[in-house]
Chains A and B, each alone.
Chain A
Amino acid sequence: EPEVTQTPSHQVTQMGQEVILRCVPISNHLYFYWYRQILGQKVEFLVSFYNNEISEKSEIFDDQFSVERPDGSNFTLKIRSTKLEDSAMYFCASTSTGSYGYTFGSGTRLTVV
């Protein structure tokens, strides 16, 4: 069964450093998403991306965050200057059409120290 692949599975970074989280969505999917889950809390929507632009973003997705689909296969989330409170699991997801369910990746655990 096709999968959404996320790398790395775990990233440790120092506060203030930039990180890039990478995702390879399912190849024929058109809609892409990033969510995050702080330990013990709800899964939170960050951003949706369609047709090479952001469709919607949450209040969490401030100027420190950006997304990119640089080469038609990868979908990245960049955090410019990480804070301690950015520590969380980050999940990428994709879907072929808006009306079907997403496929989520297994996540990247980001630890900011």
Chain B
Amino acid sequence: DAKTTQPNSMESNEEEPVHLPCNHSTISGTDYIHWYRQLPSQGPEYVIHGLTSNVNNRMASLAIAEDRKSSTLILHRATLRDAAVYYCILRDATYKYIFGTGTRLKVLA
């Protein structure tokens, strides 16, 4: 299973952008990059995914490096409700997710 590396924790001030990095140097050509977040006492929540091009949706943006060995999840204006554990996951053809420990994002008021 392809692996990802994320910082254990990050902090951000409210209303400011947050850039959450993820390294995936062993990514294969067909692996999709998926991001989920898990708020306290809840199930994981889909955030965004991409293959090669940068992606935007109402929750976030995903910037993918040209060599695909890293990506960055961008929250444009962090709110207190964005405090969660963010998981970067490579999904292969088996479609299952292998969750790592993720990045715990703390948002400061």
Listed in ascending order, the chain A residues whose CB lies under 8 Å from chain B are 31, 33, 35, 42-45, 48, 55-56, 89, 91, 93, 95, 98-107
Contact = CB atoms under 8 A, between A and B. Distances in A.
A99 B94 CA distance: 10
B36 A101 contact: yes
Contact of B43 (A42, A44, A101, A107): A107
B42 A101 contact: no
Range for the number of chain B residues in contact with chain A: 20 to 34
- Majority SS at the chain A contact face: strand
B96 A107 contact: no
Nearest to B102: A42
Contacts of A48: 94-96
29 contacts: A31-B95, A35-B97, A42-B99, A43-B87, A43-B99, A45-B98, A45-B99, A48-B94, A48-B95, A55-B94, A55-B95, A56-B94, A56-B96, A89-B43, A93-B43, A93-B44, A95-B95, A98-B95, A100-B49, A101-B46, A101-B47, A101-B49, A102-B97, A104-B44, A104-B45, A104-B46, A105-B43, A106-B43, A107-B43
Contacts of A93: 43-44
B42 A102 contact: no
Interface in B51-106: 87, 93-101
